[in-house]
Structure 1
Amino acid sequence: MVSRERQKILGSFGLLTVALVMAMAVALFSACAKPPQELRISSLLWPGYEPLVLAETLNYFDEAPIRVLDYLSNTDAMAAFKNHRLEAGAFTLDETLQLLADGVDVQVVLIMDTSHGGDVIVANPDIASVKALKGHAVAVESSAVGAYVLQRALGLNGLTLDDIRVKTTHAMEQKQAFEHGQVAAAVSFDPYRTQLLQTGKHTIFDSTQIADEILDVLVVRTDVIEQSPELVRTLVAGWFKALDYQRRYPENAAGYALPRYKVSLETYLDSLSGLRFTSLAKNRRLLAPSDSPLHALEPKLKKALIKLGLVDAALQETALLKGHLNHAFLPTP
């Protein structure tokens, strides 16, 4: 029989063991839940994302460990996101739906802008309209938004992807594809749109014909939001500070961008006319968790993505955005 004294010792030892195990578990959990050392955000050479770079340049992130990284395409950025090489990213809404469809848990924390003529299809002079593309090769990036613009343009003009030859081409390589006679048209955006127009191409379709369908959004991993909410708040606040600076001092803001875009001041400012930056008030409406207009837009975007083979058809009736619109980080008025 075990003495009471020994029982007390064993009991104390058992409690100590449990306490040690619990402490180790808490330490392990804390290590796993450790906030990221820096918030890495994907961006592109695209005027709609430029306030992110401007905020970093003007130190509007208040010395927080936030870093904006340039990618050649959002296809590359999406791959990096899936491989945990990014904590946040600037994507179009349809690309965000792709991420969610692929099981990447993100929150939309900001609606950056809406394309209003900034996404276009340009063509050779002998191609007078979208309908005239039938039988011709069209260059498009291997990204959701480029494919979406092309599919919508064809659909509005009684054509399908089967009526044309799709040539997957990076935006910066489209000029060369035209010169070599490989394509008759291309889905493009600035600064490449301007370069193509300067060589004699003309616009046969632009995003004003699909108003409010192409939105740029800022997404952040849900686990990062949970671990570092103040970092996300600083990121969104920095965006609005930069947007205000760009509105008040457009030429100064453009001056920071010109070395990267390698275009004239006039050309860069003109490219901004193809965008509508989203106000704080409109952000509040669009990011409303339950009654956001984006919930009504989702099925249309998803239908196009399914036709393109970018989203599984089984997800057509799944509300991917539900629970992933987050207005909590918007600045207070």
Structure 2
Amino acid sequence: MRYLWIVLLILTGCTAKNKPIRIAINAWPGYEQLFLAQEKGFFEEAGLSIQFIEFGSLGDVQRAFEWGQVNGMACTLIDVIIADYQTNRDPKIVLVTGYPKEATDVLFASDYIKNVEDLKGRHIAVEFRSLGMYLLLRALESHNMSINDVILFPADPTSFPSLFDKGYVDAAVCYPPHSIQLKDRHPELKPLYSSKEITGEIIDVLALESKLIKENPDIVEKILKVWDRAVKYEREHPDEAVSIMASRENLTLEEFLTIRQKINVLSLSEQERYFTTPSPLDATSQKTKNLLQDVHIINAAKCSDNFLHREAISKVLAEK
């Protein structure tokens, strides 16, 4: 498996006493406000030393956190739950960056497959312990099927085009920008199921290890303020912001805007409800844990009951 490592330093010359916060991230238009903040110097102005380490897939992001290579990760709620089960690093969600409101994460199939039921006995490319697996499970569940009805082909999404080239797989679960590259190479692929059908279940977040938060209690508040500033900047300067973000994703402006319009990126005030008690994420977390347990990816009983760092957001909003 090939990994793409691109280290983006927000601050340079960090001393041993001021080590940068390392955050794993993959290409996804819903996270681009973090890089926009970097480009505009918002992190530096907030006194934060951040190092983004970019990987080729969500699965790689999750593993980097599990192996202790990073302090945090931009990922989905699904990845947080799995990482929590796999390690004792106790990831806490500090930011809900947004969620897809239309078909962004998609189960694509070759044109000879007419519906989800036709996937029985077929090979499906998927990131096994990540978002792709969850979407596949929900697609099968919604059609009274199980994982035993299909043949899994665990793979990194960067390899999906070549898997179809060689005829190794009949379907794949993919997301932008990888899905754009996949469709460019194989325009015959058609969508069978997508995130649009389970709106609210796939949540994009930023999670940090609990130890980091405890040792640096002001970090979360600073990150929240920077995020809110970046979201506001995009809304006030859309042409400049989109140009910066599209270029970094290696997408045309049209491609980026098409995807971006399908993602609800949240300001702090818009995501406050996720950090209340109870939270809308409580039920979503439990549903996700149950589904992942059914296919033996986790043992739900050994997972945390609380993935949220709730304290900071109300304090930051009170200061506005």
Shift of 1:246: 1.9
Tell me if 1:88 matches 2:88: no
Q: Which residue of 2 aligns with 1:279?
A: 267
1:99-140 superposed Cα distances (whole Å, 9 cap, x missing partner): 222322222111111122211111112222212211211111
Amino acid at match of 1:74: L
**Aligned equivalent of 1:311, options 279, 298, 302:** 298
Q: Residues 106, 169 of structure 1: CA spacing in aligned structure 2 closer, same or farther, 3 A cutoff?
A: closer
Partner of 2:309: 325
Tell me which of 126, 129, 134 is aligned to 2:120.
Answer: 134
Does 2:22 correspond to 1:40?
A: yes
Deviates more, 1:255-264 or 1:111-120: 255-264
**Partner residue of 1:263?**
251
The corresponding residue for 1:125 is 111
Comparing 233-242 with 154-163, greater Cα deviation is found at 233-242
Q: 1:60 aligns with which of 42, 63, 83?
A: 42
Q: For the Cα contact (< 8 Å) 2:108–2:191, is it kept in 1?
A: yes
Q: Is the 8 A contact 1:56 1:67 kept in 2?
A: no
Instruction: Tell me the TM-score normalised to structure 2 length.
Output: 0.86
**1:85 to 1:45, Cα distance in 2 relative to 1, 3 A:** same
Q: 1:323 offset after TM fit, Å?
A: 6.7
Contact kept in structure 2, 1:112 and 1:217, CA below 8 Å:
yes
Alpha-carbon distance in structure 2 between the residues aligned to 1:75 and 1:149: 14
Q: Could you say which residue in structure 1 is the equivalent of 2:160?
A: 174
Question: What is the identity, as a one-letter code, of the residue corresponding to 1:106?
Answer: P
1:192-207 aligned within 5 A: 192-198=178-184, 199-200=186-187, 201-207=189-195
> Is 2:95 the partner of 1:110?
yes
Aligned equivalent of 2:3? none
- Cα distance in 1 for residues equivalent to 2:149 and 2:211: 44
- Unpaired runs of at least 5, structure 2: 1-15
In structure 2, how many angstroms separate the alpha carbons of the residues matched to 1:45 and 1:313? 29
Secondary structure in 2 matching 1:112: strand
Aligned structure 1 segments of 4 or more residues deviating by more than 4 angstroms: none
1:157 equivalent in alignment to 2:139: no
Secondary structure at 2:312's aligned position in 1? Answer: coil
**Residues in 1 aligned to 2:248 and 2:158: alpha-carbon distance in whole angstroms:** 14
Query: Distance between the aligned counterparts of 2:52 and 2:305, measured in 1?
Result: 25
Q: Tell me if the contact between 1:35 and 1:228 (Cα under 8 Å) persists in the aligned partners.
A: no
Compute the displacement of 1:36 (Å). 5.4
> What's the secondary structure of 2:42's corresponding residue?
coil
Q: State the 1:327 CA deviation.
A: 4.1
Tell me the distance in 2 between the aligned counterparts of 1:64 and 1:299. 34
| Paired residues of 2:272 and 2:313 also in contact (CA < 8 A) | no
Confirm or deny: 8 A CA contact 2:98 2:264 kept in the other structure.
yes
- Pair 1:276–1:301, CA change in 2 (3 A): same
Matching of residue 299 in structure 1 with residue 286 in structure 2: yes
Q: Are the counterparts in 1 of residues 89 and 210 from structure 2 also a CA contact under 8 Å?
A: no
Partner of 2:56: 72
Matched residue SS, 2:125: strand
| SS of alignment partner, residue 229 of structure 2 | helix
Amino acid across the alignment from 1:115: P
- Work out the CA distance in 2 between the residues paired with 1:111 and 1:124: 34
For residue 221 of structure 1, the aligned residue among 209, 218, 221 is 209
**Cα distance in 2 for residues equivalent to 1:52 and 1:95:** 19
Q: Percent of pairs identical after alignment?
A: 28
Q: Does 1:250 align with 2:234?
A: no
Determine which structure has more spread, i.e. the larger CA radius of gyration. Answer: 1
Instruction: Report the CA distance between 1:168 and its aligned residue.
Output: 1.0
Q: Distance in 1 between matches of 2:282 and 2:270?
A: 15
* Letter matched to residue 287 of structure 2: K
Contact 1:144 1:310 in 2 (8 A): no
1:141 Cα deviation from its structure 2 partner: 1.5
- For residue 174 of structure 2, the aligned residue among 188, 204, 210 is 188
* Counterpart Cα distance in 1 of 2:127 and 2:264: 23
Q: Which amino acid is 1:141 matched to? A: E
- Structure 1: tracts of 5 or more residues without a match: 1-33
Aligned partners of 2:18 and 2:280: how far apart in 1?
32
Report the CA distance shift for 1:272/1:212 in structure 2 as closer, same or farther (over 3 A): same
Aligned length: 296
CA contact (8 A) 1:137 1:166 kept: yes
Once residues 83 and 162 of structure 1 are traced to their aligned partners in structure 2, the CA distance between those partners, rounded to angstroms, is 30
Q: Decide whether the 8 Å contact of 1:147 with 1:308 is kept in 2.
A: no
- CA-atom RMSD in angstroms: 2.0
Q: 1:323 to 1:202 in 2, by over 3 A?
A: closer
Q: Which letter maps to 2:156?
A: H
